[in-house]
Amino acid sequence: MMGEKRRRLEKWIGAVIIPEFRPVGGESPEALERRPSEAYLRRFPPLGLIGFGRRMPDGLRIEGLEALTGDLVQSANRIIGRPPFVCADLECGAGYHLPGASLLPPARALAAAESTLPGAVAAAAERTGREARAAGIDLVLAPVLDVNTNPANPIIGVRAFGRTVDEVTTAGRDFVQGLHSAGAGACIKHYPGHGDTHQDSHLTLPTILRSVEELEQCELAPFHRVLGDTASGPLAVMVAHLDVPALTGEPGLPTSLSAAVIDGMRRDGFDGVVMTDGLAMLSVSDLPDLGVRSLAAGCDALLAPISELTMAEQLLEAVLEGRLCEQRLEQAAKRMERLRDQLTARPVPTLSHGLPDADRLARAALRASPDFAGCRQDFLGKSPQLIGTANFEGIALDLGAREQAAPREPVPLVAITGSQNIAGNGASGLDSVTASQVLTALQEGQAASRKTGFVWFGAPEGLLGEHLAAFRAQLAKWGTPTLVAFAPSELMVRVVGEMLASTSDNFPGDKS
């Protein structure tokens, strides 16, 4: 009898842990392929897996994720008798982890593109979902429903659709619907809201010192509005690792380990899967009984622990010793089983050729920049001289190598810089030192009666810090327009480069 109970518990434990897998070179250039062992699959059969095709911290995309996904799902199906679902972080399109698929603009750029290309958010999500399903990925860990209210936020920034509840809610709903129309599932994140932090939860436990009333009006609002769409809402919610004493009632307790937080999430009747953020993140990875406490708090899925086997053994021990309620484990496992059935029952759609591609979405976002008309008049399409940071030297060298006829007027001078919101290595915005360097460079252009411009590859609010008041005032005094380019991704850098280098008679995106 004990053997039967143990086997039942091991099956439920396998259901609630989502192991990660990576192709060769996925964790470091020398790393071997990472995947759960056959012994683990037999003993703790998983219902879900998470794939990574991007190496951190350098962000390089690694070949082989799609092939590994197919092989691992096939192996699990052979061993277990049913295929698990596969999830991945595809906020910027399937190409974020799959070389060859579409790498799309970040969420903030998609939301901006709506003004010049209506339906951009839903179309981007549909393209993401279709390409994900074609590669064997069923659940997209997106959209981000954080409201990016803190200009010093190093990890959210352009990953959020905006700085207001309405902006985020509208775009978030569109993204969920776009994924669903493509046959993919959506997992909204990072409940209860990671937008008002100046720290990265991949590195430490960020604290949000807002009252319940303030949280209800801002951080929590997009989540509960979208979760209220019971018939068409997301299938899963990811809970962040944050210190929010107003919600947990216990300073220092991560929200992912708080029953009060997770009960509050379900107040609108949501009965889908609650998933932890990655359990290898430094904000929680050293905590004792991490998996046990997450499940006890109400989480149903334990995402990417450092060792799936170690966590599984800890859960089994906790149930057998009475430290984790067997009924809570069973409830979580049944929710995961329902999610797996919902995802794997959906037909894989054909790829659509009618959706806007990445370049068109990027151009639409750039054309929504508040100063776009001024940028077009002063430097876009005029092959300007560029002065920028190392990340953008490729553009400058490419343009500088072009032989130009003697200009009828001085060549415009454009300064370019930016910041990235990436796990463990993100930057919050334009710093004072770089701002001073930009002004010094542009001052030379002004002194020579040249048109000047500024291209910012970052979140718009990255230019709004109080320390940049003099910087903004000086640009305004000179009449120097700013092109907001959202992120220094290979897509955005290339499209901006094309806009800078093109001739006025053949400007990319004029007819898109």
Pair 256, 277: CB distance under 8 Å: yes
- Distance of CA 212 to CAs 70, 115, 133, 195, 219, Å? 45, 33, 39, 15, 10
Catalytic residues: 202, 277
For residue 143, say if its preceding peptide bond is cis, omega within 30 degrees of 0.
yes
Sign of the dihedral defined by the CA atoms of residues 354, 358, 359, 364, in that order: positive
* Residue with token string 């991490």: 290
Closest Cα partner for 342 from 267, 259, 233, 246? 233
Residue 108: strand, helix, or coil = helix
Rounded CA-CA distance 27/245 in Å is: 34
Pair 62, 55: CB distance under 8 Å: yes
For residue 194, say if its preceding peptide bond is cis, omega within 30 degrees of 0.
no
Strand partners, 21: 51
Q: 130: which DSSP letter?
A: H
Q: What is the 3-state secondary structure (H, E, C) of 339-357?
A: HHHHHHCCCCCCCCCCCCC
Rounded CA-CA distance 498/496 in Å is: 5
Rounded CA-CA distance 434/417 in Å is: 8
Rounded CA-CA distance 344/334 in Å is: 15
Amino acid at 197: T
Torsion angles phi and psi, residue 284, rounded to 5: -135, -15
Rounded CA-CA distance 445/454 in Å is: 12
Q: Give helix then strand counts, H and E, for the chain.
A: 19, 13
Residue 186: strand, helix, or coil = strand
Torsion angles phi and psi, residue 386, rounded to 5: -110, 140
Pair 191, 237: CB distance under 8 Å: yes
Pair 111, 171: CB distance under 8 Å: yes
Rounded CA-CA distance 39/313 in Å is: 13
Closest Cα partner for 380 from 361, 367, 362, 365? 367
Strand partners, 303: 18
